[in-house]
Structure 1
């Protein structure tokens, strides 16, 4: 059976580790995917801005050249010809500079005067930089892109830029394998220069475009794309559009996937081992406590309850200690929290009641009013074994009290039924640490409470100007009005004892009178008090 239990624990831990790691890695993978995708989009925008900056820089140089070409002579005098040739030589992006007369005839270029003139298109009578082309030049016999300005005298000055220069700037292989890079007419969206397979988004008109814009939608080639459109600052007639298929924004390499899988598997294995280690530790602690019970290492100590009006010990609160074979005597803080987690608190508490019944039976028979108080929690009160043990102990210990904190009662739906059963059996019900919970008055009205134990934090506030001071007074007044008995915990000074006695709280518990005593110490103390009383 133990092997089957261990196997089931292992399977449970493997499943828990798999579930936890899968959940965490799924979140991490989703966050990493979103982060990488946003980074890829930012990179694409950066690439676009870099292309725009490169092209615009060259266009700005051309525009500045055209602005200063107002003095170029259409007669191609030597000064004008030398000026044009110097500009072409200084700017590799320019292949030719020409002058067109108002009739649309090219009359002069950087190669010399044209005779006869070459018929072209008439200059447009509007200010600013403009483009047309690509065209095939007569002199270079190469495709070129034309930037032009019309002068105030009606003549047009233009610059031919080689087509290959723009295609190099838009080279798709130089910009992270984008789906396409296009220099388009900003009015129509028609590509002037293009690298890649051009397409436009469905159901949306991009052009004309005045500002830089991000587009993420399905395009007319059926693919979902992320695109960035940016007008050229120096030539707003044109825009650059860079696009990439959404599915290709992130390139997942097999090395990255393999690394992630390995980390995932290592995490699952590590978490499984950790859970197994925790289970073994739990089993070890549980086994130690069970062994301690079997070896009678757990023993009771008794905190006396003193009636200061008579100076007598009228009862005890039963506490637990562990005489550990290696670490010596341990207080409850060292093992009770662990026992509450692994369930051995039930065995400990039943053993505590049975031991108290055996040790205090003679004392209780000689003093029937001698109060014996046990601390209980919701788990104990929901256990039939523990309730039966208490009821059996009532035969040997006539005056039993169970102390329950407000926090325990908050979590117990059937607490009222259990307390009524104990009440009918003659067991006194007390609220321990009263005033530190949240619903004290509600419990006093709805549950069969006989006694309130004033928490030591309120007792410690006596004589001090703290927030607890008025609460202590209110608790005492309320108990008096509701006819509830009071016991003060943690009494350590005479000033505290006198204040409580003056307020009618006569049963005290604390180091001012006695620390928790072993059975021998309790019997010895009682015998000494009886001897003094007899004398």
Structure 2
């Protein structure tokens, strides 16, 4: 297999893996969030079910208890008025099947059906005050299971109300709540179920009873299953508690439809990311080939950003910038191709061609004005290349006032840069720091490296006249440069206010749209001719 094809295949395999990892991480987070959201919504749904059942039970029990409290004054003799009151309560409350009056000795002599003859001996009323329950029991009259609520009066008589077990089971009907594993009305002290729907079980790791407050937790139960349980005493009668539970495997299970949608989106995203990465690689490889062709076809050209003495308005120099006249996409700025050129190493060939072209184009200007200042942008990669240093040395012989501009990162990134700069300085080349203040600015490196000139970054120039944190920094930078005997150039000057401020602080060499934009060599020549500068002797910028 040819080397290029093998390289492309390896890149495609890597792209597939990168796409899979990226999509897996993203969709793993999404799936986790969906699961957490499902957990929270399922728990909330179960809590709402429990609240609904509790509300129904509490409401009915409270109605019964209100009647029992009012029955403190009812005539315990089975008078017509007594029977009327008892029967009215039965008719009004569908949850009530029977009401009875039990004497202090335990005899049931009267109920809502009438006089009980002979009286039936039951359990003696408890002498304690307050609402209580017992049962379930079998009603003698209805011959059906019932749950008993009762209060003992101050005279020792007990008034009790029978709630049919069928009504309670209807309130706890499990068929209404498909997500529940069981629902139970239990004794809050012992946990013994009074009414139960489903398979009752309890947590293994926590003693739940006696239950005095609400409990909501996921735990392992004695049937070997993990369940989410909600248990809470009834507010109307705290001796009873409602317990509902659901298997977590069912409660927290994600619906198949959302999972299918997520899976489809995951697959599409994986495929799309693979296509994008492959396209990006091909584009980058294509850009590398296009750059080689651009150099061969001389599609790269220079523009020149004038450097102006703001006091005399004279153009004292120019910064050489690169552009690409693409045959299809038109004029392209360096941001489009320089990063790839630096990654691929094509920056060396581009920079050499740029300097050769600049020497050719600037020759007429330099012949008339030998002290015309010319600046080139250089990075650490170029300074370590022998061919580029060779053309730079040649340029230093042709341009008396030559400057190379490096960023602070380039100056500090390589240990050998310091010695290289010192060697370049012997050729008469000035070294400038571009975008000064945005990187590693500090007294140590300004004193350690062979640096002649500092270019104030346009972000600091833009802060002039504005109340922000960069304004005092600008003043400090200007003062520091003066103390270190470093020249200054301000770039990005766009307003007269900025220019006046800089001049007042001793910064007189400016670049920016207030004066001129970057222009072709012909436009630069016309600009210099219009200002009649070819006839004057230029002073070295600084």
Partner of 1:482: 484
Equivalent-residue separation in structure 2 for 1:215 and 1:456 (angstroms): 60
Q: Counterparts of 1:256-267 in structure 2 under 5 Å? A: 256-267=258-269
Equivalent position of 1:376 in the other structure: 378
After superposition, the Cα gap between the structure-2 partners of 1:511 and 1:81, relative to the gap in structure 1 and judged at 3 Å, is: closer
Matched residue, 2:540: none
Give the structure 2 partner of residue 77 of structure 1. Answer: 79
For the residue of structure 2 that corresponds to 1:355, the secondary structure is helix
Cα distance in structure 2, aligned partners of 1:437 and 1:244: 60
* Change beyond 3 A, Cα 1:421–1:7: farther
Structure 1 residue 49, shift from structure 2 partner: 0.9
Deviation at 1:165, TM superposition (A): 1.7
Q: Aligned residue for 1:49?
A: 51
Cα deviations by residue, 1:359-390 (Å, 9 ceiling, x for unpaired): 55787799876654211234444556544543
Residues 383 and 84 of structure 1: is their aligned pair in 2 closer, same or farther, counting only changes over 3 Å? farther
User: What is the rounded CA distance, in whole Å, between the counterparts of 1:308 and 1:255 in structure 2?
Assistant: 70
Q: TM-score, normalised by structure 1?
A: 0.84
Aligned partner of residue 422 in structure 1, secondary structure: helix
| Corresponding residue of 1:214 | 216
Q: CA deviation at 1:303?
A: 4.4
**Are residue 197 (structure 1) and residue 190 (structure 2) matched?**
no
**Cα deviation, residue 414, structure 1:** 5.6
- Which of 120, 135, 151 is the matching residue for 1:133? 135
Query: Are residues 218 and 390 of structure 1, via their aligned partners in 2, closer, same or farther at CA, if it must alter by over 3 Å?
Result: same
Q: 1:13 aligns with which of 1, 15, 24?
A: 15
Q: Decide whether aligned partners of structure 1 residues 63 and 296 sit closer, same or farther in structure 2, where only a CA change above 3 A counts.
A: same
Selected match of 1:67 from 66, 69, 89: 69
Q: Which moved more, 1:182-191 or 1:365-374?
A: 365-374
1:116-515 paired onto structure 2 within 5 Å: 116-303=118-305, 316-325=318-327, 329=331, 331-332=333-334, 335-336=337-338, 339=341, 344-359=346-361, 371-381=373-383, 386-391=388-393, 393-394=395-396, 397=399, 400-406=402-408, 408-409=410-411, 415-423=417-425, 426-435=428-437, 437=439, 439-455=441-457, 475=477, 477-487=479-489, 489=491
Q: Equivalent residue for 1:25? A: 27
The structure-2 alpha-carbon separation of the partners of 1:53 and 1:342, relative to structure 1 and needing over 3 Å to count, comes to: farther
Q: Distance in 2 between matches of 1:498 and 1:129?
A: 91
Cα distance, 1:507 vs structure 2: 5.9
Cα distance in 1 for partners of 2:85, 2:497 equals 109
Corresponding residue SS for 2:238: strand
Gaps (5+ residues) in structure 2? 538-542
Q: Deviations over 1:314-339 (max 9, x none)?
A: 65432223334456655545654665
Distance 1:141 1:460, change over 3 A: closer
Q: What secondary structure sits across from 1:115 in the alignment?
A: strand
Three-state SS of the structure 1 residue aligned to 2:71 is coil
Q: 1:407 to 1:241 in 2, by over 3 A?
A: same
Q: CA deviation at 1:109?
A: 1.8
Aligned counterparts of 2:310 and 2:48: Cα–Cα separation in 1? 85
CA contact (8 A) 1:202 1:218 kept: yes
Q: Distance in 1 between matches of 2:181 and 2:473?
A: 75
* Alpha-carbon distance, 1:119 to partner: 1.4
Aligned length: 532
Secondary structure in structure 2 of the residue aligned to 1:236: coil
Structure 2 CA distance for partners of 1:65 and 1:472, relative to 1, 3 Å: closer
SS at structure 2 position matched to 1:68: helix
Please give the alpha-carbon distance, in whole angstroms, between the structure 2 residues aligned to 1:241 and 1:310: 91
Structure 1 vs Structure 2 CA RMSD: 3.9
Whole-Å separation in 1 of the counterparts to 2:378 and 2:493: 22
Note closer, same or farther for the CA distance 1:130–1:388 as it changes in structure 2 (3 Å cut). farther
Deviation at 1:285, TM superposition (A): 4.0
For the residue of structure 2 that corresponds to 1:69, the secondary structure is helix
CA contact (8 A) 1:360 1:397 kept: no
Q: TM-score, normalised by structure 2?
A: 0.83
